[in-house]
Structure 1
Amino acid sequence: MEKLTNKKRIVIGISGASGTVYAIDLLKKLKTIPEVETHVIVSQWAKENLKLETDLTMKDLSELIDVEYSNKDLGAAVASGSFLTEGMIIVPASMKTVAGISIGFGESLISRAADVTMKEQRKLVIVPRETPLNAIHLENLTKLARLGVQIIPPIPAFYNHPETIDDLLHHQTMKLLDALGIENEGRRWKDGK
Protein backbone atom coordinates (compact mmCIF):
# COMPACT_ATOMS: atom_id res chain seq x y z
CA MET A 1 0.00 0.00 0.00
CA GLU A 2 1.25 3.46 -0.92
CA LYS A 3 2.48 5.54 1.98
CA LEU A 4 0.52 8.78 2.19
CA THR A 5 2.49 11.99 2.30
CA ASN A 6 1.57 15.55 3.23
CA LYS A 7 3.90 16.88 0.58
CA LYS A 8 2.77 18.15 -2.80
CA ARG A 9 4.19 15.77 -5.39
CA ILE A 10 5.25 17.44 -8.62
CA VAL A 11 6.32 15.31 -11.59
CA ILE A 12 8.95 16.93 -13.78
CA GLY A 13 9.98 15.59 -17.16
CA ILE A 14 13.22 16.88 -18.64
CA SER A 15 13.31 15.99 -22.32
CA GLY A 16 16.06 16.35 -24.89
CA ALA A 17 15.37 19.86 -26.14
CA SER A 18 17.87 22.63 -25.52
CA GLY A 19 17.14 24.49 -22.32
CA THR A 20 18.03 22.21 -19.41
CA VAL A 21 18.80 25.41 -17.49
CA TYR A 22 15.05 26.01 -17.20
CA ALA A 23 14.62 22.66 -15.47
CA ILE A 24 17.60 23.30 -13.21
CA ASP A 25 16.24 26.67 -12.08
CA LEU A 26 12.82 25.13 -11.40
CA LEU A 27 14.36 22.29 -9.37
CA LYS A 28 16.48 24.73 -7.36
CA LYS A 29 13.38 26.74 -6.44
CA LEU A 30 11.32 23.65 -5.60
CA LYS A 31 14.15 22.30 -3.42
CA THR A 32 13.68 25.32 -1.13
CA ILE A 33 10.00 24.52 -0.55
CA PRO A 34 9.71 21.85 2.16
CA GLU A 35 6.07 21.09 1.27
CA VAL A 36 7.03 19.94 -2.25
CA GLU A 37 8.41 16.57 -3.31
CA THR A 38 9.84 16.33 -6.83
CA HIS A 39 9.52 13.20 -8.96
CA VAL A 40 11.82 13.67 -11.94
CA ILE A 41 12.35 11.85 -15.22
CA VAL A 42 15.41 12.79 -17.25
CA SER A 43 15.64 11.56 -20.84
CA GLN A 44 18.91 10.34 -22.32
CA TRP A 45 19.16 13.39 -24.59
CA ALA A 46 18.45 15.69 -21.64
CA LYS A 47 21.47 14.13 -19.94
CA GLU A 48 23.53 14.90 -23.04
CA ASN A 49 22.26 18.48 -23.12
CA LEU A 50 23.10 18.87 -19.45
CA LYS A 51 26.73 18.17 -20.39
CA LEU A 52 26.63 20.45 -23.44
CA GLU A 53 24.79 23.40 -21.90
CA THR A 54 25.99 23.49 -18.29
CA ASP A 55 28.90 22.70 -16.01
CA LEU A 56 26.69 20.38 -13.95
CA THR A 57 26.93 16.60 -13.82
CA MET A 58 24.05 14.17 -13.39
CA LYS A 59 25.18 13.80 -9.78
CA ASP A 60 24.74 17.57 -9.32
CA LEU A 61 21.29 17.41 -10.88
CA SER A 62 20.32 14.39 -8.78
CA GLU A 63 21.04 16.38 -5.61
CA LEU A 64 18.17 18.70 -6.56
CA ILE A 65 15.72 15.79 -7.02
CA ASP A 66 13.72 13.98 -4.36
CA VAL A 67 12.79 10.91 -6.44
CA GLU A 68 14.37 10.11 -9.82
CA TYR A 69 13.13 7.66 -12.45
CA SER A 70 14.56 6.15 -15.59
CA ASN A 71 12.76 7.32 -18.72
CA LYS A 72 12.64 3.65 -19.76
CA ASP A 73 10.84 2.49 -16.60
CA LEU A 74 7.21 2.31 -17.70
CA GLY A 75 6.40 0.51 -14.45
CA ALA A 76 7.44 3.47 -12.29
CA ALA A 77 5.02 4.95 -9.76
CA VAL A 78 4.39 8.06 -11.90
CA ALA A 79 3.13 5.81 -14.74
CA SER A 80 -0.01 5.07 -12.72
CA GLY A 81 -2.97 7.31 -12.05
CA SER A 82 -3.27 5.82 -8.56
CA PHE A 83 -0.01 7.61 -7.67
CA LEU A 84 -1.35 10.96 -6.50
CA THR A 85 0.36 14.12 -7.72
CA GLU A 86 -0.39 17.83 -8.02
CA GLY A 87 0.53 17.74 -11.69
CA MET A 88 3.42 17.60 -14.12
CA ILE A 89 5.74 20.01 -15.89
CA ILE A 90 7.80 19.03 -18.93
CA VAL A 91 10.69 21.46 -19.15
CA PRO A 92 12.13 21.71 -21.71
CA ALA A 93 9.74 19.84 -23.98
CA SER A 94 11.15 18.60 -27.27
CA MET A 95 8.88 18.50 -30.29
CA LYS A 96 9.27 14.70 -30.30
CA THR A 97 7.92 14.57 -26.76
CA VAL A 98 5.09 16.97 -27.62
CA ALA A 99 4.18 14.87 -30.67
CA GLY A 100 4.16 11.65 -28.65
CA ILE A 101 1.94 13.14 -25.98
CA SER A 102 -0.46 14.66 -28.52
CA ILE A 103 -1.17 11.23 -30.05
CA GLY A 104 -1.06 9.24 -26.82
CA PHE A 105 2.12 7.38 -27.75
CA GLY A 106 3.52 6.55 -24.31
CA GLU A 107 6.81 4.95 -25.40
CA SER A 108 8.78 6.68 -22.64
CA LEU A 109 8.05 7.38 -19.00
CA ILE A 110 7.86 11.12 -19.69
CA SER A 111 5.12 10.67 -22.29
CA ARG A 112 3.34 7.98 -20.23
CA ALA A 113 3.36 10.18 -17.10
CA ALA A 114 1.99 13.07 -19.18
CA ASP A 115 -0.77 10.80 -20.52
CA VAL A 116 -1.62 9.73 -16.96
CA THR A 117 -1.65 13.37 -15.84
CA MET A 118 -4.16 14.23 -18.57
CA LYS A 119 -6.38 11.19 -18.03
CA GLU A 120 -6.57 11.95 -14.31
CA GLN A 121 -7.39 15.58 -15.19
CA ARG A 122 -4.43 16.94 -13.28
CA LYS A 123 -2.44 19.99 -14.29
CA LEU A 124 -0.01 19.41 -17.17
CA VAL A 125 2.36 22.21 -18.16
CA ILE A 126 4.57 21.99 -21.23
CA VAL A 127 7.52 24.30 -21.89
CA PRO A 128 8.21 23.85 -25.62
CA ARG A 129 11.74 24.76 -26.64
CA GLU A 130 11.96 24.98 -30.40
CA THR A 131 12.14 27.75 -32.95
CA PRO A 132 10.98 28.33 -35.57
CA LEU A 133 7.86 26.24 -35.16
CA ASN A 134 6.43 24.47 -38.18
CA ALA A 135 2.74 23.70 -38.76
CA ILE A 136 3.06 20.20 -37.26
CA HIS A 137 4.56 21.61 -34.05
CA LEU A 138 1.81 24.21 -33.83
CA GLU A 139 -0.93 21.64 -34.51
CA ASN A 140 0.40 19.34 -31.77
CA LEU A 141 0.66 22.19 -29.27
CA THR A 142 -2.80 23.50 -30.22
CA LYS A 143 -4.30 20.02 -29.81
CA LEU A 144 -2.77 19.74 -26.33
CA ALA A 145 -3.93 23.24 -25.37
CA ARG A 146 -7.48 22.31 -26.39
CA LEU A 147 -7.20 19.26 -24.11
CA GLY A 148 -6.39 21.54 -21.15
CA VAL A 149 -2.60 21.40 -21.21
CA GLN A 150 -1.01 24.73 -20.34
CA ILE A 151 1.67 25.73 -22.83
CA ILE A 152 4.26 28.10 -21.34
CA PRO A 153 7.09 28.70 -23.81
CA PRO A 154 10.22 30.31 -22.40
CA ILE A 155 9.60 33.74 -23.87
CA PRO A 156 11.33 36.48 -21.89
CA ALA A 157 9.51 39.48 -20.48
CA PHE A 158 11.24 42.84 -20.38
CA TYR A 159 8.87 44.92 -18.22
CA ASN A 160 10.82 43.60 -15.22
CA HIS A 161 14.10 44.96 -16.61
CA PRO A 162 16.15 41.73 -16.59
CA GLU A 163 19.87 42.32 -16.24
CA THR A 164 21.18 38.76 -16.40
CA ILE A 165 20.32 35.40 -17.91
CA ASP A 166 19.41 34.29 -14.39
CA ASP A 167 16.79 37.06 -14.28
CA LEU A 168 15.22 35.57 -17.44
CA LEU A 169 15.33 32.05 -15.98
CA HIS A 170 13.80 33.17 -12.68
CA HIS A 171 10.91 34.87 -14.50
CA GLN A 172 10.15 31.67 -16.43
CA THR A 173 10.29 29.64 -13.22
CA MET A 174 7.91 32.11 -11.57
CA LYS A 175 5.42 31.44 -14.39
CA LEU A 176 5.76 27.66 -13.94
CA LEU A 177 5.27 27.82 -10.19
CA ASP A 178 2.26 30.10 -10.71
CA ALA A 179 0.76 27.53 -13.08
CA LEU A 180 0.91 24.89 -10.35
CA GLY A 181 -0.45 27.24 -7.70
CA ILE A 182 2.81 27.32 -5.75
CA GLU A 183 3.36 30.64 -4.04
CA ASN A 184 6.61 32.29 -5.05
CA GLU A 185 8.25 35.65 -5.37
CA GLY A 186 9.33 37.27 -8.58
CA ARG A 187 9.35 40.53 -10.44
CA ARG A 188 5.77 40.94 -11.56
CA TRP A 189 3.88 43.44 -13.66
CA LYS A 190 2.81 46.34 -11.44
CA ASP A 191 0.23 48.54 -13.17
CA GLY A 192 2.58 49.33 -16.02
CA LYS A 193 5.28 50.72 -13.71
Structure 2
Amino acid sequence: MRLIVGITGASCTIYGVGLLQVLKQLGIETHLVVSKMGQEVVSHECGMALEELKELATFYHDNDNLAAPIASGSFKTDGMIIVPCSMKTLAAVANGLSNNLLTRAADVVIKERRKLVVVPRETPLSLIHLENMTKLAKIGVTVMPAAPGFYHQPETIGDLVSIMVGRILDQMDIENNLFTRWGEE
Protein backbone atom coordinates (compact mmCIF):
# COMPACT_ATOMS: atom_id res chain seq x y z
CA MET A 1 0.00 0.00 0.00
CA ARG A 2 1.19 3.54 -0.79
CA LEU A 3 -0.36 6.61 0.89
CA ILE A 4 0.24 10.34 0.76
CA VAL A 5 0.05 12.09 4.12
CA GLY A 6 -0.34 15.85 4.30
CA ILE A 7 0.06 17.86 7.49
CA THR A 8 -1.11 21.47 7.46
CA GLY A 9 -1.19 24.37 9.88
CA ALA A 10 -4.28 23.51 11.87
CA SER A 11 -4.22 22.42 15.48
CA CYS A 12 -4.25 18.65 16.21
CA THR A 13 -1.01 17.83 14.41
CA ILE A 14 -0.69 15.07 17.01
CA TYR A 15 -3.13 13.08 14.84
CA GLY A 16 -0.82 13.40 11.83
CA VAL A 17 2.19 12.34 13.90
CA GLY A 18 0.24 9.41 15.37
CA LEU A 19 -0.93 8.35 11.92
CA LEU A 20 2.62 8.36 10.55
CA GLN A 21 3.83 6.31 13.52
CA VAL A 22 1.17 3.64 12.98
CA LEU A 23 1.63 3.52 9.20
CA LYS A 24 5.37 3.05 9.74
CA GLN A 25 4.71 0.19 12.19
CA LEU A 26 2.39 -1.40 9.63
CA GLY A 27 5.04 -1.15 6.90
CA ILE A 28 2.88 1.05 4.68
CA GLU A 29 4.77 3.28 2.24
CA THR A 30 4.13 6.94 3.02
CA HIS A 31 4.82 10.10 1.06
CA LEU A 32 4.78 13.04 3.46
CA VAL A 33 4.14 16.69 2.57
CA VAL A 34 4.04 19.35 5.28
CA SER A 35 2.98 22.98 4.81
CA LYS A 36 5.09 25.77 6.35
CA MET A 37 2.47 26.37 9.03
CA GLY A 38 2.19 22.61 9.50
CA GLN A 39 5.89 22.56 10.42
CA GLU A 40 5.35 25.35 12.93
CA VAL A 41 2.32 23.74 14.54
CA VAL A 42 4.06 20.33 14.80
CA SER A 43 6.94 22.07 16.52
CA HIS A 44 4.64 24.00 18.87
CA GLU A 45 2.18 21.22 19.72
CA CYS A 46 4.38 18.12 19.55
CA GLY A 47 7.86 19.54 20.16
CA MET A 48 9.11 17.90 16.95
CA ALA A 49 11.45 19.34 14.37
CA LEU A 50 10.79 18.70 10.69
CA GLU A 51 13.74 16.28 10.59
CA GLU A 52 12.11 14.11 13.28
CA LEU A 53 8.81 14.15 11.38
CA LYS A 54 10.57 13.13 8.15
CA GLU A 55 11.95 10.03 9.91
CA LEU A 56 8.40 8.76 10.39
CA ALA A 57 7.74 8.74 6.63
CA THR A 58 9.10 6.53 3.89
CA PHE A 59 9.53 9.56 1.60
CA TYR A 60 9.38 13.28 2.26
CA HIS A 61 8.53 15.84 -0.44
CA ASP A 62 9.04 19.58 -0.08
CA ASN A 63 5.75 21.44 -0.45
CA ASP A 64 7.27 23.71 -3.13
CA ASN A 65 8.37 20.77 -5.32
CA LEU A 66 5.61 20.48 -7.91
CA ALA A 67 7.83 18.04 -9.85
CA ALA A 68 7.58 15.39 -7.09
CA PRO A 69 6.12 12.03 -8.16
CA ILE A 70 2.93 12.56 -6.13
CA ALA A 71 2.08 15.55 -8.36
CA SER A 72 1.35 13.17 -11.24
CA GLY A 73 -1.63 10.91 -11.76
CA SER A 74 0.65 8.30 -13.34
CA PHE A 75 2.28 7.80 -9.92
CA LYS A 76 -0.10 5.25 -8.41
CA THR A 77 -1.16 5.65 -4.80
CA ASP A 78 -3.96 4.17 -2.75
CA GLY A 79 -5.01 7.60 -1.59
CA MET A 80 -4.23 10.58 0.59
CA ILE A 81 -4.94 11.73 4.11
CA ILE A 82 -4.65 15.39 5.12
CA VAL A 83 -4.46 15.47 8.90
CA PRO A 84 -4.98 18.02 10.24
CA CYS A 85 -6.47 19.96 7.35
CA SER A 86 -6.53 23.74 7.73
CA MET A 87 -9.44 25.72 6.33
CA LYS A 88 -7.00 27.30 3.86
CA THR A 89 -6.00 23.89 2.51
CA LEU A 90 -9.60 22.68 2.56
CA ALA A 91 -10.67 25.71 0.52
CA ALA A 92 -7.83 25.23 -1.97
CA VAL A 93 -8.64 21.53 -2.46
CA ALA A 94 -12.40 22.19 -2.73
CA ASN A 95 -11.80 24.80 -5.42
CA GLY A 96 -9.05 23.10 -7.41
CA LEU A 97 -6.27 25.50 -6.44
CA SER A 98 -3.08 23.49 -6.86
CA ASN A 99 -0.60 26.17 -5.81
CA ASN A 100 1.69 23.84 -3.83
CA LEU A 101 2.52 20.13 -3.75
CA LEU A 102 0.06 19.30 -0.99
CA THR A 103 -2.92 20.77 -2.81
CA ARG A 104 -1.70 19.42 -6.18
CA ALA A 105 -1.40 15.90 -4.72
CA ALA A 106 -4.96 16.19 -3.38
CA ASP A 107 -6.14 17.40 -6.79
CA VAL A 108 -4.48 14.38 -8.41
CA VAL A 109 -6.09 11.98 -5.93
CA ILE A 110 -9.49 13.51 -6.70
CA LYS A 111 -9.07 13.47 -10.48
CA GLU A 112 -7.82 9.88 -10.40
CA ARG A 113 -10.81 8.90 -8.22
CA ARG A 114 -8.65 7.63 -5.39
CA LYS A 115 -9.52 7.89 -1.70
CA LEU A 116 -9.04 11.27 -0.04
CA VAL A 117 -9.65 11.80 3.66
CA VAL A 118 -9.48 15.31 5.10
CA VAL A 119 -9.46 15.86 8.86
CA PRO A 120 -10.43 19.50 9.36
CA ARG A 121 -9.80 21.18 12.69
CA GLU A 122 -11.64 24.44 13.21
CA THR A 123 -14.38 25.66 15.48
CA PRO A 124 -16.80 27.23 15.08
CA LEU A 125 -17.33 26.57 11.38
CA SER A 126 -18.44 29.34 9.07
CA LEU A 127 -20.82 28.85 6.17
CA ILE A 128 -17.81 29.09 3.83
CA HIS A 129 -16.10 26.20 5.67
CA LEU A 130 -19.28 24.12 5.54
CA GLU A 131 -19.82 24.82 1.84
CA ASN A 132 -16.24 23.77 1.05
CA MET A 133 -16.70 20.56 3.07
CA THR A 134 -20.00 19.89 1.29
CA LYS A 135 -18.37 20.43 -2.09
CA LEU A 136 -15.73 17.83 -1.24
CA ALA A 137 -18.22 15.36 0.25
CA LYS A 138 -20.35 15.55 -2.91
CA ILE A 139 -17.42 14.27 -5.00
CA GLY A 140 -16.64 11.42 -2.62
CA VAL A 141 -14.01 12.92 -0.33
CA THR A 142 -14.32 11.75 3.27
CA VAL A 143 -14.59 14.77 5.57
CA MET A 144 -13.74 13.57 9.05
CA PRO A 145 -13.61 16.36 11.64
CA ALA A 146 -10.97 15.99 14.35
CA ALA A 147 -13.54 14.96 16.96
CA PRO A 148 -12.72 11.77 18.87
CA GLY A 149 -15.42 9.72 20.53
CA PHE A 150 -15.52 9.07 24.27
CA TYR A 151 -17.52 5.82 24.41
CA HIS A 152 -14.29 3.85 24.75
CA GLN A 153 -13.48 5.62 28.04
CA PRO A 154 -10.21 7.35 27.06
CA GLU A 155 -7.84 7.98 29.96
CA THR A 156 -4.99 9.74 28.17
CA ILE A 157 -4.37 12.02 25.22
CA GLY A 158 -2.81 8.96 23.59
CA ASP A 159 -6.16 7.17 23.86
CA LEU A 160 -7.85 10.09 22.06
CA VAL A 161 -5.20 10.03 19.34
CA SER A 162 -5.63 6.27 18.94
CA ILE A 163 -9.37 6.46 18.29
CA MET A 164 -8.92 9.18 15.66
CA VAL A 165 -6.01 7.42 13.96
CA GLY A 166 -7.93 4.14 14.06
CA ARG A 167 -11.00 5.72 12.50
CA ILE A 168 -8.84 7.36 9.80
CA LEU A 169 -7.30 3.96 9.03
CA ASP A 170 -10.82 2.50 8.83
CA GLN A 171 -11.61 5.00 6.07
CA MET A 172 -8.60 3.70 4.11
CA ASP A 173 -9.66 0.05 4.73
CA ILE A 174 -6.58 -0.59 6.88
CA GLU A 175 -7.22 -3.15 9.61
CA ASN A 176 -6.31 -1.94 13.09
CA ASN A 177 -7.08 -2.47 16.75
CA LEU A 178 -6.16 0.98 18.01
CA PHE A 179 -9.37 1.44 19.97
CA THR A 180 -12.23 -0.55 21.42
CA ARG A 181 -15.07 -0.62 18.96
CA TRP A 182 -18.67 -0.12 20.02
CA GLY A 183 -20.10 -3.38 21.33
CA GLU A 184 -16.67 -4.99 21.86
CA GLU A 185 -15.11 -5.75 25.23
2-structure distance, mates of 1:71, 1:62 = 13
Structure 1 segments unaligned to the other structure (5+ residues): 1-7
- AA in 2 matched with 1:25: G
Secondary structure in 1 aligned to 2:105?
helix
For 1:168, the equivalent position in structure 2 comes to: 160
Q: 1:44 and 1:154 mapped to 2: Cα distance?
A: 20
**What is the RMSD computed on CA atoms of the aligned residues?**
1.0
Structure 2 spans left out of the alignment, 5+ residues: none
Q: Tell me, in whole angstroms, the C-alpha distance in 2 between the residues paired with 1:152 and 1:182.
A: 16
1:10-21 maps to which residues of 2 (within 5 A)?
A: 10-21=3-14
Residue 64 of structure 1: how far off its partner (Å): 0.5
Alignment of 1:15-164 (within 5 A): 15-34=8-27, 36-164=28-156
CA distance in 2, matches of 1:99, 1:75: 23
Contact 2:148 2:160 in 1 (8 A): yes
Shift of 1:55: 1.9
Secondary structure at the aligned position of 1:82 is classed as coil
| Counterparts of 2:19 and 2:162, CA distance in 1 | 8
Contact 2:94/2:135 (8 A) holds in 1: yes
Q: TM-score, normalised by structure 2?
A: 0.97
Q: Aligned partners of 1:54, 1:159: CA distance in 2, in Å?
A: 26
2:2 corresponds to which of 4, 9, 28: 9
Distance 1:56 1:75 in 2: 27
Checking the alignment, whether the CA contact within 8 Å between 2:97 and 2:103 is kept in structure 1 is yes
Q: How much has 1:56 moved relative to structure 2?
A: 1.6
Taking the aligned partners of 2:3 and 2:156, their CA distance within structure 1 comes to 28
Q: Is the 8 A contact 2:32 2:54 kept in 1?
A: no
Moved over 4 A (4+): none
Distance in 1 (CA, whole Å) between partners of 2:46 and 2:113 is 34
CA shift, 1:152, in A, is 0.9
Task: Give the drift of 1:19.
Answer: 1.4
TM-score by length of 1: 0.93
Question: CA offsets, 1:147-176, max 9 Å, x none?
Answer: 100011111211100111110100000011
Percentage identity across paired residues of the two chains? 49
Instruction: Give the letter aligned to residue 33 of structure 1.
Output: L
Rounded to whole Å, the distance in 1 between the matches of 2:148 and 2:108 is 30
